[in-house]
């Protein structure tokens, strides 16, 4: 059965509305994209026959909340159950910004793009149990709509930094982005949507020429092939030369700043030599660097460097003229920080068919 949210991106002629009721389009858009309803019954200004007809043709929800965990720092983690019984997670992170007296609260939603992940980065929880399947466009959008309903409003920012590798799922990601970004639908605004990739060079080039605008974050995590090979198997397929060349293409075509994500792993990638090399790569691409002190994942052997080492690494970048910040993450106590999302035993996934 098709998904109702996806229909909103189709010409109205495809909706099968009664020909004398063109105003129904706006009503349906409002129920789905502004009120985030979870059932057709709630669409009270639609006639019963229309509701019944829509319900028989279009599924309204693609993800249903199973658990909602709240962190002490007010981050919330959602576990969603999908139509086939698989589970994925999203994380809602509030942030206060602005000066005293003029504070506003921004909501960032971190969404998943796949069930599991095939890329097996050594430090990441999401790849531990392998890849199950791609999320459909409706399931990607479903995470946003469901989280909006629970939060009472649409998030201000979206980051594809949950479970999975978004660029390995472009056929579903692109239609989802279209709906999330386009002003006539969810209207997120391209500057507020960030896609993070472990470095799929051909897809980065493909996106360079795609009309959709969004921000790109590259999970670099090591500045030389010798170290990247050890912690990110994808580097064997697309070594740094090839990857940075693809980023060149992206930056030139899109005329946009990209971001490097760099997890700091004690004794692995936090040496001054790595900082110097990283600064060279960042300067070449005018990239901004987000340093992420490693979040502990149970069963993995890595440690976060000392505060002193983290600051030293950051200072080396700044001195080399690179924009760099240390990202302090939220949601540690509920395993909702970057890289802590995983398919746990208790989320019994159905066997692949």
CB of 286 to ligand SF4, least distance (A): 24
In sequence order, what DSSP letters do the residues of 171-209 get, joined into one string?
HHHHHHHHHHH-TTTT---GGGEEEEES--HHHHHHHHT
The β-bridge partners of 96 are 105
Cβ-based nearer residue to ligand SF4, 120 or 175: 120
- Residue 95: burial class (beta carbons within 10 Å; 0-12, 13-18, 19+): middle
Nearest-Å Rg of the Cα atoms of the chain is: 21
CB of 218 to ligand SAH, least distance (A): 7
42 is an active site residue: no
| Distance separating alpha carbons of residues 34 and 36, to the nearest angstrom | 6
- Nearest-CA neighbor of 297 among 335, 323, 264? 335
Which does residue 193 touch among ligand SF4, ligand SAH, none (CB within 5 to 8 A, set by kind)?
none
**Quick one: which of 75, 126, 203, 235 contacts ligand SF4 (CB under 6 A)?**
126
Determine if 65 is a binding residue for ligand SF4 (CB under 6 A).
no
Determine if 198 is a binding residue for ligand SAH (CB under 6 A).
yes
Cβ-based nearer residue to ligand SAH, 197 or 203: 197
Determine if 89 is a binding residue for ligand SF4 (CB under 6 A).
no
CB of 126 to ligand SF4, least distance (A): 4
Which does residue 338 touch among ligand SAH, ligand SF4, none (CB within 5 to 8 A, set by kind)?
ligand SAH
Determine if 197 is a binding residue for ligand SAH (CB under 6 A).
yes
**Quick one: which of 71, 148, 169, 198 contacts ligand SF4 (CB under 6 A)?**
198
338 is an active site residue: yes
Q: What is the residue whose two structure tokens read 């409003």?
A: 153
CB of 282 to ligand SAH, least distance (A): 15
**Quick one: which of 148, 219, 269, 290 contacts ligand SF4 (CB under 6 A)?**
219
Under 8 Å CB-to-CB from 204, ≥6 apart: which residues? Answer: 167, 197, 216, 218, 243, 246, 247, 249, 250
The residue from 307, 338, 346, 351 that is catalytic is 338
- From residue 115 to residue 154, the character string flagging contacts with ligand SAH as x (rule: CB under 6 A) and all else as - is --------xx------------------------------
**Quick one: which of 71, 108, 196, 274 contacts ligand SAH (CB under 6 A)?**
196
Q: What is the residue whose two structure tokens read 């051909």?
A: 202
Handedness of CA 323, 324, 325, 327 (dihedral sign): positive
Determine if 302 is a binding residue for ligand SF4 (CB under 6 A).
no
Binding residues for ligand SF4 restricted to 156-175, rule: CB under 6 A? 164-165
Question: Which H helix or E strand runs over 4?
Answer: helix 4-7
Rounded to the nearest 5 degrees, what angle is found at the Cα of 114, between the Cα atoms of 111 and 120? 110
Which does residue 261 touch among ligand SF4, ligand SAH, none (CB within 5 to 8 A, set by kind)?
ligand SAH
Under 8 Å between Cβ of 285 and 254: no
Stretch that binds ligand SF4, among 114-122, 171-179, 270-278, 344-352 (CB under 6 A): 114-122
Under 8 Å between Cβ of 62 and 141: yes
Determine if 131 is a binding residue for ligand SF4 (CB under 6 A).
no
Q: How many CB atoms lie within 10 A of CB 23?
A: 9
Under 8 Å between Cβ of 65 and 38: no
Under 8 Å CB-to-CB from 96, ≥6 apart: which residues? Answer: 103, 104, 105, 106
Chain residues that interact with ligand SAH, rule: CB under 6 A: 123-124, 161, 165, 196-198, 219, 221, 261, 263, 292, 294-295, 297, 338-339
Which residues are catalytically annotated?
89, 338
């Amino acid at each position: 059965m098709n998904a109702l949210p996806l229909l909103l991106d189709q010409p109205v002629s495809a909706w099968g509305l009664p020909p004398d009721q063109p105003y129904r389009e706006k009503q349906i858009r409002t129920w789905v994209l502004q009120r985030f309803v979870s059932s057709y019954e709630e669409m009270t200004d639609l006639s019963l026959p229309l509701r019944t007809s829509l319900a028989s043709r279009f599924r309204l929800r693609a993800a249903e909340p199973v658990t909602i965990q709240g962190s002490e720092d007010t981050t919330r983690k959602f576990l969603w159950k999908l139509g086939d019984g698989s589970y994925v997670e999203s994380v809602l992170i509030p942030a206060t910004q602005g000066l005293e007296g003029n504070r506003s609260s921004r909501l960032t939603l971190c969404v998943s793009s796949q069930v599991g992940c095939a890329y097996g980065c050594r430090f990441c929880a999401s790849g531990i149990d392998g890849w199950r399947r791609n999320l459909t466009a409706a399931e990607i959008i479903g995470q946003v709509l469901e989280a909006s309903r629970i939060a009472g409003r649409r998030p201000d920012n979206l980051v594809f930094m949950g479970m999975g590798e978004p660029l390995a799922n472009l056929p579903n990601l692109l239609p989802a982005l279209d709906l999330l970004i386009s002003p006539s639908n969810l209207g997120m605004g391209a500057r507020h949507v960030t896609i993070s990739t472990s470095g799929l060079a051909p897809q980065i080039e493909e996106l360079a020429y795609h009309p959709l605008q969004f921000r790109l974050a590259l999970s670099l995590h090591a500045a030389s092939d010798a170290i990247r090979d050890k912690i990110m198997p994808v580097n064997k397929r697309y070594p740094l030369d090839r990857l940075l060349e693809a980023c060149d293409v992206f930056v030139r075509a899109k005329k946009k700043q990209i971001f490097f994500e760099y997890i700091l792993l004690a004794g692995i990638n936090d040496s001054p030599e790595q900082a110097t090399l990283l600064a060279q790569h960042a300067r070449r691409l005018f990239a901004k660097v987000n340093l992420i002190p490693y979040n502990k994942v149970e069963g993995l052997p890595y440690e976060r460097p000392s505060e002193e080492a983290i600051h030293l690494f950051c200072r080396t970048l700044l001195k080399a003229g690179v924009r760099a910040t240390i990202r302090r993450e939220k949601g540690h106590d509920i395993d909702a920080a970057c890289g802590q999302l995983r398919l746990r035993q208790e989320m019994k996934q159905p066997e692949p068919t």
